[in-house]
A = this chain, B = another copy of it.
Amino acid sequence: MLIAPREHAIVGACLERARRNAKVTQQELARRLGKPQSFISSYETGQRRVDVLEMILILHALNIDARLIFDEIYLHFPRTP
């Protein structure tokens, strides 16, 4: 593991916020992705990591441009550049 679990919670929180803004439940998002509801819960709570392609897929299922959320996550981690 290259990254502490705690930091993944930030990714989960961004994805949760995006889902809630889209007014979609975990159940409904899970259905759209063909996964169980616990799948959504586990990454939103930072229990599970989200890989790059999954993020694109998840946000697509919410009709959100993944680049916007990636920027948001990126800016949470104060590093250069």
Contacts and interface: CB of A to CB of B under 8 A. Distances in A.
Interface of A is mostly: helix
A3 B57 contact: yes
A64 B80 CA distance: 9
A13 interface: no
A29 interface: no
Interface in A32-81: 33, 35, 49-57, 60, 63-67, 70-71, 73-74, 77, 79-81
Interface magnitude class on chain A: 20 to 34
B33 A52 contact: no
A52 B53 contact: no
Contact of A66 (B11, B35, B65, B74): B74
